[in-house]
Amino acid sequence: MSSRASYLASASALAEACAGLLDRVRAQTPLVQCLTNHVASGFTANVLLAVGAAPAMVDIPGEAGVFARIASGVLVNLGTLAAGQPEAMREAAAAAREAGRPWVLDPVAVGVLPVRTALAAELLERRPAVVRGNASEILAVAGAGPGGRGVDAAASVDAAASAAARLAGRTGGVVAVSGPIDLITDGAAVARVANGHALLTRVTGAGCALGAVMAAFAGVAADPFLAATAASVVFGIAGERAAARASAPGSFAAGLLDALAEVHPAEVAAQARVETA
């Protein structure tokens, strides 16, 4: 794997690195533990299978921490907190950190709801490799905003850029802000990914599934910045491909799974719309 300096040298170099990381995911089939919301669970598992990873929905106390130590990557998504799940999330995050396994925090609806807001603040102390959310969620978890309207963003990606950089400095990891143009930062380097399609916002669990794909890519990459960027690029290109042959959200959702399975590394290198700064 190239050094960060080499793939940040130009947009084309970063696109090539993203393509290479997709190739590694398919070669290594990373095992991704998902502690996620029940609305998105099945779709998330299918997305992981389509992209080339292996899902494991292990999210109960007593097992979550054990499994996190053997998983390639871990997703902790706060979307629907079932009984026992917060404790399992604490176990998984702590175990992943101790075992050196990358984990992704998706702070769904943080800011507007008190239980998950407090849990997200606690989990941040376990130093996630990636924090992924929309602009309002990132502002809220960084302590710079009140949150959005449930899972909907009320702020722009650019409005969250400074808070994202500060949050990355606090966690020592990467923050990925999803929107019309995704922003990924480690507090110093910044990548912007323009791939994607509006239909992604009309499929329940698409953002949650993206967090899982980031965990999969982080499971085979030494650098979570590249992992989050590559996941955004691949997911966005698949969204574009699915939208080109879909008539509405239902056909798009099925088409997204097909597109994730079909997208080729050469296609990623050629079609990535990514900028670095």
Give the residue extent of every domain in the chain.
4-276
Average of pLDDT values for 117-131? Answer: 96
pLDDT at 14: 96
pLDDT at 157: 94
| Residue 153: band (very low, low, confident or very high) from pLDDT cuts 50, 70, 90 | low
**154 has a pLDDT exceeding 80:** no
| Residue 147: band (very low, low, confident or very high) from pLDDT cuts 50, 70, 90 | low
pLDDT at 1: 46
Give just the sign of the alpha carbon dihedral 79, 225, 179, 239.
negative
Average of pLDDT values for 162-176? Answer: 97
pLDDT at 148: 52
pLDDT at 144: 84
| Residue 152: band (very low, low, confident or very high) from pLDDT cuts 50, 70, 90 | low
Measured torsion, CA atoms of residues 57, 58, 60, 61, in degrees rounded to the nearest 10: -150
| Residue 5: band (very low, low, confident or very high) from pLDDT cuts 50, 70, 90 | confident
**98 has a pLDDT exceeding 80:** yes
57-86: burial string, b at 16+ Cβ within 10 Å, e else: bbbbeeebbebbeebbbbbbbbbebeeebb
pTM of the shown model: 0.95
pLDDT at 108: 92
Are the CB atoms for 47 and 260 separated by under 8 Å?
yes
Average of pLDDT values for 134-154? Answer: 75
CATH superfamily of 4-276: Ribokinase (3.40.1190.20)
Mean pLDDT of the chain: 94
